[in-house]
């Protein structure tokens, strides 16, 4: 099975209570690609960077098996730049700077080799670009998932609603679900958002885990309790990459398998937050990932013979 990922490949500057970074590599597409690369080999990225983007990082992605044919490098222009500062609880953050640069006029190209992909992950990007990608796929993929953020709700709500109507799964955080639906209760928010189009909805709640909604069914997975969280940036994208990578590698989009996908995504996200940027995601071993998934199984496993 093959996965196409669309998302920003970018520079970030991050401030957390534990420290501060200068410009480091980030971007939703980067996190998704690193994370899904541990589950499957046939994966492809659609994105854009400026001339300032280091070749070394592109090499790291291609060494992980990520096909970069759909990644445009625009001469004389600068890569997308985002800067954020986390509050003491590490669950909430303020965006300090968003410089769109190459993303402002990004016209996504889908190489012929990407056509026919079965799984499409629309990472956080302008909804106009996300829609263009869906429309430029000659055959609709079997499963289309999408992430977005408040930034796009504030400036491009009309396009965002069109994109949401065209997908199967929306993956957003609790704050975004509330903003999108105008409902405080997440159960009500989930209902309203699914009426907008997607059959499935995943609401990420940071250190409080993730919820999956479909029809009358719901599933909840906790986040792994970690002693140290250094930098939550990209955790949501890493989660999405693990989730989609797992579904694509097993080629099973049943609700039961999506539960396993959520555990795979949560395990990957738990690695992401342990170091700044993509560092922790760059060199994981299969056994480390397997052990972490088993920690989730242990965390949520219990027997209950008698109830009342």
Q: Which residues bind ligand AMP (CB under 6 A)?
A: 8, 10, 12, 26-28, 82, 98, 124-125, 149, 151, 233-237
Q: Which is nearer to ligand AMP, 155 or 187 (CB)?
A: 155
Strand ranges for 75-140 from DSSP E: 81-86, 93-99, 119-122
Q: Which is nearer to ligand AMP, 2 or 203 (CB)?
A: 203
Q: Which is nearer to ligand AMP, 2 or 236 (CB)?
A: 236
Rounded least distance, CB 116 to ligand AMP, Å: 26
CB 119 within 8 A of CB 142: yes
Rounded least distance, CB 8 to ligand AMP, Å: 4
Q: Which is nearer to ligand AMP, 2 or 167 (CB)?
A: 167
Burial tier of 56 (Cβ tally within 10 Å: 0-12, 13-18, 19+): exposed
Rounded least distance, CB 27 to ligand AMP, Å: 4
Look up tokens 């965390």; give the residue.
299
Q: Which is nearer to ligand AMP, 98 or 250 (CB)?
A: 98
Q: Which is nearer to ligand AMP, 2 or 171 (CB)?
A: 171
Rounded least distance, CB 39 to ligand AMP, Å: 18
Cα angle, residue 86 at apex, residues 85 and 87 outer, rounded to 5°: 125
Rounded least distance, CB 37 to ligand AMP, Å: 17
Q: What is the 3-state secondary structure (H, E, C) of 248-293?
A: HHHCCCCHHHHHHHHHHHHHHHHHHCCCCCCHHHHCCCHHHHHHHH
Closest of 280, 213, 269 to residue 240, by C-alpha: 269
Look up tokens 């400036």; give the residue.
155
Rounded least distance, CB 48 to ligand AMP, Å: 11
Burial tier of 245 (Cβ tally within 10 Å: 0-12, 13-18, 19+): buried
Beta-bridged to residue 262, according to DSSP, are none
Tell me which residue has its CB nearest to ligand AMP: 26
Q: Which is nearer to ligand AMP, 28 or 186 (CB)?
A: 28
Rounded least distance, CB 84 to ligand AMP, Å: 7
């Amino acid at each position: 099975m093959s996965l196409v990922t669309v998302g920003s490949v970018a520079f970030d500057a991050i401030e957390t209570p534990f420290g501060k970074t200068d410009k480091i590599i980030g971007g939703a597409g980067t996190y998704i690609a690193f994370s899904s690369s541990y589950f499957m080999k046939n994966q492809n990225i659609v994105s854009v960077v400026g001339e300032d983007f280091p070749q070394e990082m592109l090499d790291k992605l291609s060494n992980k098996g990520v096909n970069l044919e759909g990644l445009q490098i625009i001469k004389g222009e600068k890569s997308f730049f985002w800067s954020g500062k986390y509050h003491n609880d590490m669950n909430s953050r303020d965006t300090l700077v968003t410089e769109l640069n190459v993303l402002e006029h990004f016209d996504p190209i889908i190489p012929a080799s990407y056509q026919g992909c079965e799984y499409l992950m629309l990472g956080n990007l302008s909804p106009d670009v996300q829609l263009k990608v869906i429309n430029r796929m000659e055959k609709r993929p079997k499963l289309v998932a999408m992430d977005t953020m408040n930034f796009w709700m504030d400036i491009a709500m009309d396009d965002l609603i069109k994109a949401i109507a065209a997908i199967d799964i929306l993956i957003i955080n609790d704050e975004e679900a509330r903003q999108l639906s105008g409902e405080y209760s997440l159960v009500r928010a989930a209902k309203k958002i699914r009426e907008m189009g997607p059959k499935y909805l995943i609401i990420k709640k940071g250190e409080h885990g993730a919820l999956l909604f479909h029809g009358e069914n719901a599933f909840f997975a906790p986040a792994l309790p970690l002693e140290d969280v250094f930098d939550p940036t990209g955790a949501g994208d890493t989660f999405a990459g693990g989730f989609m990578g797992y579904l694509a590698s097993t080629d099973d989009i049943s609700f039961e398998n999506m539960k396993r996908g959520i555990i795979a995504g949560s395990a990957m996200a738990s690695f992401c937050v342990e170091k700044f940027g993509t560092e922790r995601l760059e060199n994981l071993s299969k056994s480390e990932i397997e052990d972490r998934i088993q920690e989730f199984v242990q965390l949520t496993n219990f027997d209950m013979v008698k109830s009342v």
